[in-house]
Amino acid sequence: MTTPASAPDHDLQHIAPRDQAEILAQALPYIRKFHGKTIVIKYGGNAMTDPALQQDFAEDVVLLKLVGMNPVVVHGGGPQIDEALAKIGKKGTFVQGMRVTDEETMEVVEWVLAGQVQQDIVGLINAAGGKAVGLTGRDGGLIRARKLRMKDKADPNKEHDVGQVGDIVAIDPSVVKALQDDQFIPVISPLGFGEHNENYNINADVVAGKLAEVLKAEKLMLLTNTPGVLDKNGQLLTDLTAREIDELFADGTISGGMLPKIASALDAAKSGVNAVHIIDGRVPHAMLLEVLTDQAFGTMIRSH
């Protein structure tokens, strides 16, 4: 029986040394190209709940840091929040893909995201050899927010009250930059604060998108439970422009939980983030394959 420490060697036994060298050499141009660049990663879906995929994710983040890139992790926690709400007899409700967050739900959201989930991710990255530090939007005044005014999709004159859900007013990235420069990997919970110190739950895809813009990230990577953006026939669209995405919104191809995800990706692409990738987080090491090879493991969105 192999011990966990020797498992990676075991996995590579079927690959000849020459092929291993070839694989490493192919990664070199990408390592050179992205050295010193910031990569914002939205961590969610199966990659967050499957122990083997959690391990892969942590190793990928540490490797990107070790080869000179600056990964910043923003995490969600939908399933974990639903689980915690169920324990107190509450059921989550959603409007247009956004969680309705009353005061009691907000307490649970804060406890789950900034406590349990964030600390799990920090622990995983540290165990894989990195130096992760957990932050919320309050730390260093990172995310200032106000109450989200959500317009109805069908009737723009109608607004939905989704409770303590926040809309980002401003991001001050100085705390993130200070950590990055000091060899740390920031792990950010999508919680913001208002002008009267109120708490807001913010969609993690939105936080990741805005953070990528403010940090002038080279890439924004959104890990999901889908192969990427699919067309009407369920075929993967590997490369999309802003105009093509507007068409997919208009004809209803993109809907539900994918709406905030794609909208954030599109905003980031239009605001100077070079490439936005929506990646299948169920594929082991999908993130590494996306950054260090020319294989497409999802959908890439370009501004034009």
Annotation: binding site for substrate:
77-78, 99, 201
CA 88 to chain centre: 28
Location of structure tokens 């926040």: 166
* CA distances to 44, 72, 231, 281 from 297, in Å: 16, 20, 16, 9
The angle subtended at Cα 228 by Cα 247 and Cα 120, nearest 5°, is 130
Measuring CA to CA, which residue among 102, 240, 90, 86 is closest to residue 165?
102
Annotated binding residues, written as ranges, equal 77-78, 99, 201
Q: Which residues contact 235 (CB under 8 A, 6 or more apart)?
A: none
Which strand (E) or helix (H) includes residue 236? strand 236-237
Q: Which is it for strands 236-237 and 229-230: parallel, antiparallel or unpaired?
A: antiparallel
Measuring CA to CA, which residue among 297, 303, 257, 299 is closest to residue 60?
297
- Is the separation of the CB atoms in 108 and 77 below 8 Å? no
Helix (H, G, I), strand (E, B) or coil at 143: strand
Determine the residue type at 3: T
Report d(CA 18, CA 28) in Å as an integer.
16
Backbone angles phi and psi of 144, in degrees to 5: -90, 135
Q: Is 195 exposed, middle or buried (0-12, 13-18, 19+ CB in 10 A)?
A: exposed
Helix (H, G, I), strand (E, B) or coil at 205: helix
- Is the separation of the CB atoms in 85 and 108 below 8 Å? yes
